[in-house]
Structure 1
């Protein structure tokens, strides 16, 4: 397929690379010349505008930081919807507000563009390995049309409901991920304060009922205090805002989510916004210092 890819950051670059390796023709666009050069170096093509990216594309994928960027790309006078050909499949893999996804999908439908909200989970490692979990909102027939493309970037690909449902499921994902990071951080602080080596301690936890993907991938780097970003605190802060807003819209109380959101906000306020979200450990340590 001819695929346009807009947004070549920590997640977008490896996703686009996997599509190139799957022998799709990938035309990438990003504000960073360095990222464009990296795509070209592995056999992708590059564009100098959104219009050039969309021209001739069967599928356009976006991976952008937040709702304002998605709206700008979709609705600008020289943006995606202005240049999309009828029948284009538009897959937004960004994590944004559900209402933004619904707004984009409705505008796309008016132009005979088939939109899906398809946020992903798995972090940079999952993007590199092509093992992301992808939660997709939109029409079932559009989901089926997108499945082949998505299979090159993810392994768990589930249609979860209508427009915006993918973003709601991603909000649930992020509140769980944030909560687990906070509890792993507390476990490390407890073990170390008690004179117990957290290495073998977390090894045992990872093999029991407390086991999780986070413990599997992050326990060693957290113990070493290595917080190279795979997913930044700044972005998780944004995602927790989406989760708490979704709770208000649904009329439900999520008290643990509120607490985790405050811990992540504290990490950001303490200057850790550019670090990996496992840096919640630094907040728990500061509380106990």
Structure 2
């Protein structure tokens, strides 16, 4: 059996740390790097190899995974002096699993090809729970041969599906974030509606989740939303960024997303009010405030 390639994992945050740890558990040698040294130390505590710089993590790795917050962070990781493109050898498989603009993903892929690298955009859905459990949904854009070459790396992280050429993974992720935001908003509205009528919300949400209204949002977020617990699994600040990607890409394509645009305003309002660090289910908190003001 051929030896697994060394994996460089760049970005060890809420999602990246458990993802990198799952690769370690699957038998990969993983060198991790994060701009926050305490995160790199935490990764070392989970059996990974701590790197003191991005270049040190990437040097000699057969696979490089980036999991950073936004398009500018990906640009910096890839293009900066000592970044991925400076440090990776020709033929290295570069997988960006961040959520970024589709046009940025296409630019990264093209520049990577010029340097002889194999680049995939592979954003994920499933939140912190999915990352910890290794059951993320991974939407992958790029060359088919490169997707198949990455299969063993994707397997400990979740289920990967090829969705088209470079940038397609990010386009599908934008659609995912559109659906998730709308779903959370409607669950919040349903919960406030049930409470206003004195319904047992635990039973109400349970029976709703067993029918056509059921969703992963209800399964994973419903109980915490009932108790107004908004500890971050996926932060409002990040979903605000993602909804900006959605609305910009929709304008570029000339397609309407009226519901998405409205929910994007709600998410933006929460961030502006200083709640960017809360879970995106805190859309309920904004709805509570509106309902109180109307009484």
TM-score range, shorter chain: over 0.9
Distance in 1 between the 2:272 and 2:289 partners?
13
Aligned mates of 1:42, 1:228 — CA distance in 2: 23
The reply to whether residue 248 of structure 1 matches residue 251 of structure 2 is yes
Q: Look up the match of 1:263.
A: 266
Name the CA distance, whole Å, in 1 between partners of 2:24 and 2:262.
41
Distance 2:209 2:269 in 1: 27
Question: What is the aligned partner in structure 1 of residue 40 from structure 2?
Answer: 36
**What SS does structure 2 have at the residue aligned with 1:94?**
coil
Give the equivalent residue in structure 2 for 1:190: 193
Q: Tell me, what secondary structure is at the counterpart of 1:91?
A: strand
CA deviation map 1:22-51 (0-9, x unaligned) = 110000000112111111112110111111
1:64 to 45, 68, 75: 68
Instruction: Please identify runs of 4+ aligned residues in structure 1 that moved more than 4 A.
Output: none
Note if 1:125 corresponds to 2:129.
yes
- Please give the per-residue CA displacement for 1:47-84, whole angstroms capped at 9, x wherever unaligned: 11111111110000000000000000100121110111
- Cα distance per residue 1:180-220 (max 9 Å; x no partner): 00000001111111111211111110111000011011111
In the alignment, which residue of structure 1 is the partner of 2:18? 14
For the pair 1:26 / 2:21, whether they are aligned, the reply is no
The match for 1:104 among 108, 117, 120 is: 108
Q: Match of 2:204?
A: 201
Structure-1 separation of matches of 2:34 and 2:111: 23
TM-score between the two structures when normalised by the length of structure 2: 0.96
For 2:175, the equivalent position in structure 1 comes to: 172
- Size of the aligned set, in residue pairs, is 288
- Measure the CA separation in 2 of the matches of 1:189 and 1:255: 23
Residues in 1 aligned to 2:62 and 2:261: alpha-carbon distance in whole angstroms: 41
Shift of 1:166: 0.3
Secondary structure of 2:150's partner?
helix
C-alpha distance in 2, partners of 1:252/1:67?
22
Name the stretch that deviates more: 32-41 or 202-211: 32-41
Q: Give 1:270 shift.
A: 2.2
What root-mean-square deviation, in Å, do the aligned CA atoms of Structure 1 and Structure 2 show? Answer: 0.7
Structure 1: stretches of 5+ with no match in the other structure:
none
Length-normalised TM-score, structure 1 = 0.98
Any gaps of 5 or more consecutive residues in structure 2? none
Cα deviation 1:208-242 (Å, max 9, x = unaligned)? 10000110111111000000000000000000000
The alignment partner of 1:136 has SS state of strand
